[in-house]
């Protein structure tokens, strides 16, 4: 039976987070700062729109590209911000689905894909699944992108650069100057630029800037999972040049088929939901974490998303997490997101009470 399993399944390890939760299985009253999911519920107008769609019989497959009203509404907003002559929209089965489709549609075996370490755990795995070669660029200790290092890493086999800002797991955002330089570099070198913007609405100290502003060939991946707490609904979207979107649509037709239709109607309603109160609450939670840890930990201040990525005060990130779990604090070792095992990830998408309890334990452990 061993010969039944494809070689690609052995090219990456998915056990890291499972091991953490195995260690946490016997926690009495866990202080959970591990989950990358908003702690508020799906907004009521979104719930109602989905329920109404279900009751109206909108339960079949949608078009592979997504329902017309949602695509049109997104296209209108995108074209207002990015008045590009060649930019189409595809609704995907979550942002992760969009990433899968981008790799399947763009990466050939042997192609190199540049991304930044630390990284969202799926990036190198998806590159390998497509037969590509992952090329991480180290950004320690401040998690800012050095565009010259990117330029030096580009070879004749480089197919694309993948950027995530604000970033998971660090919460650090790339500034406007960096985005412009990276966008210009990709255009000059004929390399595709894929921008994962799932946390773009969670931006605290400066306005979010997409590299698509500076490079009209940028492929942007976004969605509703984090902004509207719709992680289980699986509705994302991609926009970019028509040739790329057409290829991704073909891949979706033979994989995911489409995003769930009732959830797409919910996503249409989500566009009109005011998130300002939630964003303000997460800015305050960010401040609570920074103020609570800055004098005990080496910490690059997160400027977006809802993560912080402190350095373990001694030993490895994995060992520090083991000690935290012994104190009923659930955090994630940084080695899951990086070639280094020196840091750990905190998600501050939690109640203020939970955050204060977690900060107290972390300070004691430091």
At 19-32, the pLDDT tens digits run 766 766 677 778 99
C-alpha to C-alpha distances, 128 to 114, 122, 133, nearest whole angstrom: 12, 10, 6
C-alpha to C-alpha distances, 69 to 74, 131, 147, nearest whole angstrom: 9, 36, 39
CA distance 183 to 216: 9
| pLDDT score, position 12 | 78
Collect the ranges in the chain with pLDDT lower than 70.
1-2, 14-17, 20-21, 23-25
CA distance 30 to 207: 35
pLDDT in tens, 117-172: 999 999 999 999 999 999 999 999 999 999 999 999 999 999 999 999 999 999 99
| pLDDT score, position 36 | 83
CA distance 180 to 160: 16
| pLDDT score, position 15 | 64
Q: Report residue 9 as tokens.
A: 């399944």
| pLDDT score, position 228 | 86
Per 3-state DSSP, the chain is made up of helix, strand and coil in percentages (nearest 5) of 45, 15, 40
pLDDT in tens, 319-343: 999 999 999 999 999 999 999 999 9
Q: Report residue 350 as tokens.
A: 């939690």
Global pTM reads: 0.94
Q: Is 165 left (phi over 0), alpha (psi -120 to 50) or beta?
A: beta
| pLDDT score, position 5 | 84
Domains of the chain: 2-42+275-365 (3.90.1150.10), 60-270 (3.40.640.10)
């Amino acid at each position: 039976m061993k010969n039944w399993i494809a070689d690609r399944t052995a090219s990456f390890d998915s056990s890291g987070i499972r091991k953490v939760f195995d260690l946490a299985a016997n926690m009495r009253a866990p202080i959970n700062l591990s989950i990358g999911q908003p702690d508020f519920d799906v907004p009521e107008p979104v719930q109602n729109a989905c329920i109404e769609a279900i009751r109206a019989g909108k339960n079949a497959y949608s078009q592979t590209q997504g329902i017309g009203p949602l695509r049109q509404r997104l296209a209108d907003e995108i074209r207002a911000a990015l008045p590009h002559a060649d930019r189409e929209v595809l609704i995907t089965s979550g942002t992760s689905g969009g990433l899968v489709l981008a790799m399947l549609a763009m990466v050939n075996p042997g192609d190199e894909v540049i991304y930044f370490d630390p990284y969202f755990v799926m990036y190198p795995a998806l590159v390998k699944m497509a037969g590509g070669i992952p090329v991480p660029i180290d950004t320690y200790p401040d998690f800012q992108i050095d565009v010259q290092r990117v330029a030096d890493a580009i070879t004749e086999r480089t197919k694309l650069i993948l950027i995530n800002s604000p970033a998971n797991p660090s919460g650090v955002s790339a500034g406007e100057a960096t985005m412009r330089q990276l966008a210009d570099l990709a255009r000059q070198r004929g390399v595709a630029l894929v921008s994962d913007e799932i946390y773009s609405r969670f931006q605290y100290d400066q306005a979010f800037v997409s590299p698509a502003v500076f490079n009209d060939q940028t492929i942007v991946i976004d969605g509703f999972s984090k902004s509207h707490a719709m992680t289980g609904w699986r509705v994302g979207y991609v926009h970019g040049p028509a040739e790329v979107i057409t290829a991704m649509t073909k891949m979706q037709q033979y994989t995911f088929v489409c995003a769930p239709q009732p959830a797409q109607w919910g996503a249409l309603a989500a566009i009109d939901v005011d998130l300002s109160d939630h964003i303000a609450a997460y800015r305050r939670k960010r401040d609570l974490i920074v103020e609570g840890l800055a004098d005990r930990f080496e910490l690059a201040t997160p400027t977006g998303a809802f993560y912080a990525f402190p350095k373990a005060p001694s030993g490895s990130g994995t060992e520090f997490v083991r000690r935290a779990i012994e104190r009923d604090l659930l955090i994630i070792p940084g080695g899951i997101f990086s070639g280094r095992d020196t840091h750990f990830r905190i998600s501050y998408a939690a109640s203020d009470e939970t955050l204060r309890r977690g900060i107290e334990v972390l300070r004691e452990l430091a």
